[in-house]
Chain A
Amino acid sequence: MVNSRDPKSTIAAVQHPTVGEAGKTGTWRTFRPVIDENKCILVTSPKARCHTCWMFCPEGNISKTRPPRVNYDYCKGCGICAQSCPHDAIAMRKEEDEP
């Protein structure tokens, strides 16, 4: 019996999605997204709903919290969150400029 979860009998490659399956991809980053809590509507307006950055992050590296937090271990710095933020609350800063 072929079972893709059994290493002896599997005939195709399958992967169980886990955090860091491809290593710490945060090292690839040139620019890092920095969330300005004074502009993020989730902070400035406690009843507001947004989480657009969380929705758009292709790597699932932004938490659905108030304010949202970026996981810099895996964030590749693509900048999609900064582009998608309707309140201009995310800035892309060059890695060496700030810690």
Chain B
Amino acid sequence: MTSGGKQEAEDASRPVPPARETLILTGNHAASFAVKAARVQVISAYPITPQSPVVEKLSEFVEDGELKARMIRVESEQSAMASLISASTTGTRVFTATSSHGLSYMHEQLAWAAGTRLPVVMCIVTRAIGAPWSVWPDHQDAVSERDTGWIQIFCEDNQEIYDTVLEAYKIAEDERVYLPVAVCYDGYILSHTLMPVELMSQAEVDKFLPPFKSHLMLAMSMDDPVGVNPVTVPEPREGFPAYMELRHRMQKALEGAAAVMEEVEAEFAKVSGRHHGGAVRSYRLDDAEVALVGMGSCSSQAKVAIDDLRAAGIKAGVLTVRLFRPFPKRQIREVLKGKKVVAVFDRDVAYGLEGALCAETKASLYGIPDPPYVHGFIVGIGGRDFTTENAIEGTRLAVERSRNREIHDETTWLNLMEGE
């Protein structure tokens, strides 16, 4: 199931079990409640705006005895990830959260978590990367880490954050995957905005998410100990895979992860009655000729523009990319084939090229017959508003330029100051 909003989930009419409660939560606290429900055992984090409230809430849960977890206070994000790698190796369910420069500081350890195939789950509360200094939202921090081997899922509202954190553990700990997952959501726009969030009962979560078993547990024997991640030589040794084989296995796992995510979503929908669409989510795309594509806050804003665009005679819909890594090429191809124009709104820049989502959307469509005209826009960098008007302006421009299939090598930025 790659289309249909959560409100259209098949099981939405089933009776809600009494043990559930709905709270008014910020995006950050929605994440904290999900981590508590997942019975995470080790939490290690370093504070950074706008992520800090996630871990502050978790430390309250631990202090009150509501969550039996070990909080490790570390001196940096690099140490936060390093300590979680060790904990996860032994079969412990772990969590951290960070933003922006904290994530950049973790970069090296991100690659180690993925390369060791550890199901670490982290919230990235997305924010701009300096210079110049900015504490405001865009997607640059998360997008800049796309090649580390992590799975990255972008959320659009607080309920989706809660649900996605629970799904993230299920995906990460699946034996076909065994990879770390980042649950990404826009700083402030979601992290500090209150919304109603329905919490699952503990019994429901426990059933959905059984205790985690590390693939290294067999190796972690006190009687016959091993070293993890020794130097691997270029060629296989004694029949054991070398660096290249292990990296090949990691890439294969990523290639299969989108299908696992869709399975997990279907299972989650049965328990919760909510379905977020799997790897991608469609909004009014069935009869659309024009697709607006975005992640997180970009797609929320694009949806608001659809009524106005349709009133103006542009049959438009929105494709929300939830899964950014692994990039859901097949799902995107299936949804966008037959569309005439695709306007991609990126809250990030793959500097020196164009928006990352745009470049990858184009790559996904390569080779299909009669492909849509794809035009990218850079919007909302460093907390600049990405407005409904911007979404309409961009879509109109894309439609206009599509008439002559104009090729623009330079990027188009919306909502810049006058004269720029």
A residues with CB within 8 A of B: 1-5, 7, 10-17, 21-22
**Is the interface on chain B under 10, 10 to 19, 20 to 34, or 35 or more residues?**
20 to 34
Decide if B226 is an interface residue (CB 8 Å cutoff). Answer: yes
Consensus secondary structure, chain B interface? loop
**19 A–B pairs (Cβ distance < 8 Å), ordered by A:** A2-B175, A2-B178, A5-B218, A5-B226, A10-B240, A11-B117, A11-B178, A11-B246, A11-B249, A11-B250, A13-B241, A14-B216, A14-B219, A14-B226, A14-B230, A15-B226, A15-B228, A15-B230, A16-B227
Q: Which residues of A contact B216 (CB under 8 A)?
A: 4, 12, 14
Is B227 a contact partner of A10 (Cβ separation < 8 A)? no
A14 x B227 contact (CB < 8 A): yes
Closest-CB distance, B118 to chain A (whole angstroms): 8
A11-B250, A14-B228, A17-B227 given as contacts; is B215 within 8 A of A5 (CB)?
no
B121-144 vs A, Cβ < 8 Å mask (1 yes, 0 no): 000000000000000000000000
Q: Which chain A residue lies CB-closest to B217?
A: A4
Instruction: Flag whether B22 is at the interface (Cβ < 8 A).
Output: no
Asked whether any CB of chain A lies closer than 8 Å to the CB of B191, the reply is: no
At the interface, yes or no: B171 with Cβ under 8 Å from chain A? no
Determine the residue in chain B with the shortest Cβ distance to A11.
Answer: B117
Binding site for A on B (CB under 8 A): 115-117, 175, 178, 215-216, 218-219, 224-232, 239-241, 243, 246, 249-250, 253
Do A12 and B240 touch across chains, with their CB atoms under 8 A apart?
A: no
How far, in whole Å, are A53 and B342 apart by their CA atoms in the complex? 70
Q: Are A13 and B253 in contact (CB under 8 A)?
A: no
Count, A-B residue pairs, CB within 8 A = 61
Point out the residues of chain A lying under 8 angstroms from B246, CB to CB: 11-13
Q: Are B253 and A11 in contact (CB under 8 A)?
A: yes
Chain B proximity of A57: nearest CB distance (Å): 18
Which of the residues A5, A7, A17, A22 comes within 8 Å of B219, measured between beta carbons?
A5
Closest to A10 in B: B241
Give B227's nearest chain A residue, CB to CB: A15
Q: Which residues of B contact A3 (CB under 8 A)?
A: 215, 218
Closest chain-A Cβ to B253's Cβ sits at a distance in Å of: 7
User: How many angstroms between the C-alpha atoms of A12 and B180 in the bound complex?
Assistant: 14
**Sample of 14 further A-B pairs with CB below 8 A, known A13-B246, A22-B231:** A1-B175, A5-B226, A7-B240, A7-B241, A11-B178, A11-B250, A12-B115, A12-B117, A12-B229, A14-B219, A14-B228, A14-B229, A15-B228, A17-B226
List of B residues within 8 angstroms of A2 by Cβ = 175, 178, 215
Write the nearest CB–CB distance from A17 to chain B, whole angstroms. 6
Determine the chain B residues whose CB is within 8 A of the CB of A5 once the complex forms: 218-219, 226
* Inter-chain contact B218/A4, CB cutoff 8 Å: yes
Nearest CB of chain B from residue A61's CB, rounded to whole Å: 17
